[in-house]
Structure 1
Amino acid sequence: MTRYVVIGAGAVGGLLAAQLELAGIASVLVARGAQLAAIRDRGLRIRRPHGDDVVRLAVAGGPDEVRLTTDDVLVLATKAQDAEAALIDWAWRPVHDEDGAPAGLAADLPILTVQNGLATEDDALRRFGRVYGVTVAVAASYLVPGEVVNPSFPVVGVVWLGRYPDRAGDEDQERFVRDLTAAGFGVHSVPDISAWKARKLLGNVRNGLDLLDGTDEEKARAGALLAAEAEAAYATAGIVPAAADAIRAGAGLTFAPVPGHVPGRLSTWQSFARGTSSEVDHLNGEIVRLGRRHGVATPVNERLQRLLGAQAAAGLPPGTNRVSDLLTVTADAGA
């Protein structure tokens, strides 16, 4: 039977492993630090609008604690900035058949890449022959060790899944769709996962605004500037994102309050709140990279990347910088 080895126990990875377990689908969750200790001690609590589930999971601290078999599927659920290190850690681990005999390496197994941004799939292709990109729309939050908050229903999140590089689906992809659907996700099997990753990034470039102090009107103006720069970089680079209407129509999430939970905090804010590394280099930094490569100016994305990069390096809290620091970029450009 297929077993999903979920590498990364944040909001998405933790929720995914718990939902698979609740659906009777074998999984092991790879965690670290306080999250690992909490799940080992008392399971993973999924906090929902209508009650909590405490899910006892098979959990491991790293690849040395997981004996891989030919039935395993790897799910890379780390943040984008941690993906390359995880790929290096896992790719060359031995795999065994059902009799315990050597049967290749982890790089021979299929891998699902769940990261924001556009970089992880190519990083995975350096090592893995069967890469499936995954774009996730989910409102889950992870701030407290041993807890994931999931305020959405009737599905817990929405997934777009496809083979990378872009191509028609295969039997493995159909199996992943069935399992994730059974686990409570709304799943779309797509032949053009790159387009869906690109569409998601157009929203993700706004994530960092959550960390800046300013009015809603200022954040709306800055968000429009960030997205416009991203679209200009895409156009010059020949990247065509999935239609915005298509991703809105495919989501269909309904939300309700979870007691004690403050909604609306995106993944970038959660990382800063936990004092972990920032994914800004794979969000706004990805747009900056495209702009530099193709000769497109992306000053607002670059300013946000620099502000949040320096903020993370100094260990400063959310609210240290202001949205007006971004809006002055366009004023300077027009002076």
Structure 2
Amino acid sequence: MKVAVMGAGAVGCYFAGMLARAGHEVVLVGRPQHVEAFNTKGLRLEAKTFDATIPVKASTDPAIVAGADLVLFCVKSPDTETAGAQLRAHLAPDTLVLTLQNGTDNAERLRTVIPQPVSAAVVYVATEMAGPGHVKHHGRGELVIEPAARSQQAAEALIAAGVPTEISDNVRGALWLKLIINCAYNALSAITQLPYGKLVEGVGVPEVMGHLVSECKAVAAAEGVTLAGDVDVAIRKIIETMPTQFSSTAQDVARGKPSEIDHLNGYIVRRGQAHGIATPVNLTVHALVKLIESKAR
């Protein structure tokens, strides 16, 4: 397969590296500093069990995705429509676009700007960009994807490349489960600049996380969502499998970049308001992250 990554950050580079290592042609659309490194040195994937540099092609121009069978769509949630519109003219009618993003509504939003098949995906992976063209893998790396044209082909390629992948009829429930996990951890990690393992050791933090989760569950129920799993078990699994990981929101805040907080705790606040459900703890952490972002600006 020819695989393209739109938004070649830590998540996209990890899965791109796994697919390229398995022999697939991989092209990446990313920022200039990473594009230069990809083209001159290759993609360095420092995983838990290996450290490899893999040849790839990269560009800042989305036109490089032409001819792709699969696009891993990894831009930040606020950029979904803009990035989708940039891709549209370069994709074949049957190219599968797999959204590897935080939040619950990106696939739906992307479908409003491109005619190609779009499949939502739930991502559980701990990664970071450790330098130009260098992605470091800290743990996990599985995907749950929505049924769509060519999703079976994509799943088989990912599994063969060493990426545990499941096709699920309840991706909405899986996305909401991931959203609740993100709402429990991301803002608190960003505010404190602590990794998950240290974060949960803080005085009163488990109780605060419990309130965040309870509010999210109430909103999910009002939305008619059937959660795909046990939230409390999933929350504990994050601590067990990613104790040294900083949330993506924490990484954005540390770099002075806008985060996706409006699509995480902010989304819960908005949907809670729509249903008349109070979400004071989500409102508080959302407001604090926004203040930190405005201070950085």
Q: Which AA in structure 2 matches 1:199?
A: L
Equivalents in 1 of 2:279, 2:241: separation in Å? Answer: 34
Q: Which AA in structure 1 matches 2:79?
A: D
Shift of 1:175: 0.4
Alignment partner for residue 85 of structure 1, among 64, 82, 85? 82
2:292 maps to 1:292? no
Shift of 1:129: 4.4
Alignment of 1:51-70 (within 5 A): 51-64=50-63, 66=64, 68-69=66-67
Secondary structure at the aligned position of 1:212 is classed as helix
2:208 maps to 1:208? no
Equivalents in 1 of 2:57, 2:178: separation in Å? Answer: 31
Secondary structure at the aligned position of 1:223 is classed as helix
Secondary structure at the aligned position of 2:128 is classed as coil
Equivalent residue number for residue 30 of structure 1: 29
Whether contact under 8 Å (1:142, 1:270) holds in the other structure is no
Equivalent residue number for residue 275 of structure 1: 256
Whether contact under 8 Å (2:138, 2:245) holds in the other structure is no
Distance 1:58 1:82, change over 3 A: same
5+ residue gaps in structure 1? 96-105, 164-168, 257-261, 317-335
Shift of 1:272: 1.9
Equivalents in 1 of 2:8, 2:170: separation in Å? Answer: 27
Q: Which AA in structure 2 matches 1:267?
A: S
Secondary structure at the aligned position of 2:87 is classed as helix
User: What TM-score comes out, normalization by structure 1 length?
Assistant: 0.78
Shift of 1:88: 2.0
Equivalent residue number for residue 230 of structure 1: 216
2:72 maps to 1:75? yes
Equivalent residue number for residue 148 of structure 1: 135
Secondary structure at the aligned position of 2:56 is classed as coil
Equivalent residue number for residue 265 of structure 1: 246
Equivalent residue number for residue 186 of structure 1: 164
Equivalent residue number for residue 321 of structure 1: none
Shift of 1:194: 0.7
Distance 1:82 1:181, change over 3 A: same
Equivalents in 2 of 1:174, 1:94: separation in Å? Answer: 23
Shift of 1:107: 6.3
Equivalent residue number for residue 14 of structure 1: 13
Equivalents in 2 of 1:228, 1:255: separation in Å? Answer: 23
Equivalent residue number for residue 152 of structure 2: 174
When Rg is computed on C-alpha atoms for both structures, the one with the higher figure is 1
Whether contact under 8 Å (1:109, 1:128) holds in the other structure is no
Q: Which AA in structure 1 matches 2:145?
A: L
Q: Which AA in structure 1 matches 2:98?
A: L
Distance 1:159 1:237, change over 3 A: same
What is the aligned residue count? 286
Shift of 1:81: 2.4
**Residues 291-321 of structure 1, C-alpha deviations (whole Å, 9 max, x = no match):** 01111111111121111112112217xxxxx
Q: Which AA in structure 1 matches 2:230?
A: A
Equivalents in 1 of 2:131, 2:258: separation in Å? Answer: 16
Shift of 1:208: 1.0
Equivalent residue number for residue 160 of structure 1: 144
Secondary structure at the aligned position of 1:151 is classed as strand
Shift of 1:273: 2.3
Shift of 1:143: 4.2
Equivalents in 2 of 1:26, 1:309: separation in Å? Answer: 40
Shift of 1:162: 1.0
Shift of 1:276: 2.1
Shift of 1:196: 0.6
Whether contact under 8 Å (1:36, 1:60) holds in the other structure is yes
5+ residue gaps in structure 2? 193-198
Equivalent residue number for residue 283 of structure 2: 302
Q: Which AA in structure 1 matches 2:43?
A: L
Alpha-carbon RMSD across the aligned residues, in angstroms, is 2.6
**Residues 160-187 of structure 1, C-alpha deviations (whole Å, 9 max, x = no match):** 0113xxxxx65x1110110111221111
Equivalents in 1 of 2:203, 2:87: separation in Å? Answer: 45
2:120 maps to 1:133? yes
Equivalents in 2 of 1:205, 1:293: separation in Å? Answer: 18
Shift of 1:50: 4.2
User: What TM-score comes out, normalization by structure 2 length?
Assistant: 0.87
Whether contact under 8 Å (2:190, 2:247) holds in the other structure is no
Distance 1:194 1:67, change over 3 A: closer
Q: Which AA in structure 2 matches 1:211?
A: A
Equivalents in 2 of 1:123, 1:282: separation in Å? Answer: 13
Q: Which AA in structure 1 matches 2:248?
A: S
Equivalents in 2 of 1:8, 1:315: separation in Å? Answer: 23
